[in-house]
Amino acid sequence: MRRFALILLAFATTVLAVNLPCTPKVPKAAACSDASFAAATAALRTAFQQSEAQLSATAGRQMEADAAEWLAWTQRICPTGKAECLTPLYRAEEKTIAEGMVRAGGMQFYPRTEYRTAPDPAHTAGEPEHLPGDPGYGVGEFVWPQVDRPKERAARWNRAVRARVAALKRGSVAEGDAFEPSPLGGKHEWLSYRVTAANARLIEVTFTQSIFPYGAAHPATEKTQMNWWLPRGREVRAEDVFRPGSGWRPFLAGMSYEHLVEMSRRKENPVRIFPEAESRPAAEKAALQTGHWTLLRGGLCVTFPAYSVAAGFYGEPAIFIRWGQLRPYLAAGLDPETLPVPVR
């Protein structure tokens, strides 16, 4: 335990890519004799090095602090420091860093992280056993994007993202179908993101929040879009896209359902949607909420929540409608040619 604590102290007081376990500069943890853990450590070190090379000193210091918090968190999750416990945590962190570094629209996005544990109030010290998969405490893993070297517009977006993440962690999102607020104890909660599209006018990010109450059959997962106009300093509204009074709502709702029906009839990889009485109202409801939209240069993407129109096996089905089909209903100020292309 003392040796593992020395690793934490050394990592917390140095730059990103230095002093992970399994290097000559750090007291070696017992787990370093495990080839899988050593490989995971090397991959994480590379991810840190590559991210640090792309970031400003300010962003680098933020990621240093996050990394130190993460390393301390791994000790709480794996107090004995065994490789079989640590290795998946190191692999997950390497994926978070590698996938969170995104260059798009002339901006460098990087991941901020927060890792937490919390006592589970449902259990007492004398309780003989927990629910299946329950370690006796709650776990939170939260990741969100920021823009490095932000100018005024991007700085405003950074602040808005932090506010959105705080709201998601409380269990509330705009246009809600959100999770009920609850203490962290008694569940495992994740929050991740994907930069969907970005340019000088618009940043679009998909947040994925999953909550797994201990003893449940599977996590509950919800996705929501944050589509932000940089020049306007706010999120996209329906009237930014469609002309009020044009009849766009019934048209978009109907077309969205028609696209789903087409997906259910295709020969390759069909999406078996629920019966019409169930799937049509759910599809029409989701199609009219900006939190399910992604605005791209080629058209409008609408994503339907898991379990809303089809079984969970199909994830979150998405349809794509070209702007030409929507042209009679578009707002006068919307120029599709100024919208971003998807981030690859």
Query: Does residue 6 surpass a pLDDT of 70?
Result: no
Three-class SS state of 165:
helix
Count CA atoms closer than 13 A to 190's CA, side-chain side.
13
Give the contacts of 24 (CB within 8 A, at least 6 positions apart). Answer: none
Q: What is the mean pLDDT of residues 305-325?
A: 95
Question: Domain locations in the chain?
Answer: 1-97, 101-235, 238-338
Q: CA-CA distance, 46 to 42, in Å (whole number)?
A: 6
If you average pLDDT over every residue of the chain, what do you get?
87
Q: CA-CA distance, 17 to 50, in Å (whole number)?
A: 9
pLDDT for 257-268, tens place per residue?
Answer: 999 999 999 999
pLDDT for 131-152, tens place per residue?
Answer: 556 777 889 999 999 999 999 9
Per-residue model confidence (pLDDT) at position 204: 98
Q: CA-CA distance, 25 to 39, in Å (whole number)?
A: 17
> Which long-range CB contacts under 8 A does 125-131 form with residues at least 24 apart?
130/214, 131/214, 131/215
- The pLDDT-based confidence of 121 (bands split at 50, 70, 90) is low
Higher pLDDT, 1 or 58: 58
Fold held by 101-235: Heat Shock Protein 90 (3.30.565)
Per-residue model confidence (pLDDT) at position 302: 97
- The pLDDT-based confidence of 220 (bands split at 50, 70, 90) is confident
Q: Which residues pair with 137 in a beta bridge?
A: 119
Query: Smallest Cα–Cα separation from 10: which of 111, 2, 43, 84?
Result: 2
Q: What is the mean pLDDT of residues 63-81?
A: 92
Per-residue model confidence (pLDDT) at position 172: 41
Residue type, 243: R
Q: What is the mean pLDDT of residues 154-174?
A: 84
Per-residue model confidence (pLDDT) at position 133: 67
Query: Does residue 57 surpass a pLDDT of 50?
Result: yes
Query: Does residue 340 surpass a pLDDT of 80?
Result: yes
- Provide the 10 A C-beta neighbour count for residue 69: 14
Query: Does residue 19 surpass a pLDDT of 60?
Result: no
Query: Does residue 130 surpass a pLDDT of 60?
Result: no
Per-residue model confidence (pLDDT) at position 214: 81
Q: What share of the chain is helix, strand, coil (3-state, %, to 5)?
A: 40, 25, 35
pLDDT for 195-210, tens place per residue?
Answer: 999 999 999 999 999 9
- The pLDDT-based confidence of 92 (bands split at 50, 70, 90) is very high
Q: What are phi and psi of 237, to 5 degrees?
A: -110, 160
Q: What torsion, rounded to 10 degrees, do the Cα atoms 252, 257, 261, 262 define?
A: 20
Instruction: Look at the block and give the residue holding tokens 């629910």.
Output: 131
Q: Which class in CATH covers the domain with range 238-338?
A: alpha beta
Q: CA-CA distance, 64 to 290, in Å (whole number)?
A: 35
Q: CA-CA distance, 254 to 300, in Å (whole number)?
A: 14
Lowest mean per-residue pLDDT among 119-128, 180-189, 234-243, 254-263: 119-128
Query: Does residue 187 surpass a pLDDT of 90?
Result: no
pLDDT for 286-307, tens place per residue?
Answer: 999 999 999 999 999 999 999 9
The DSSP symbol for 304 reads: P
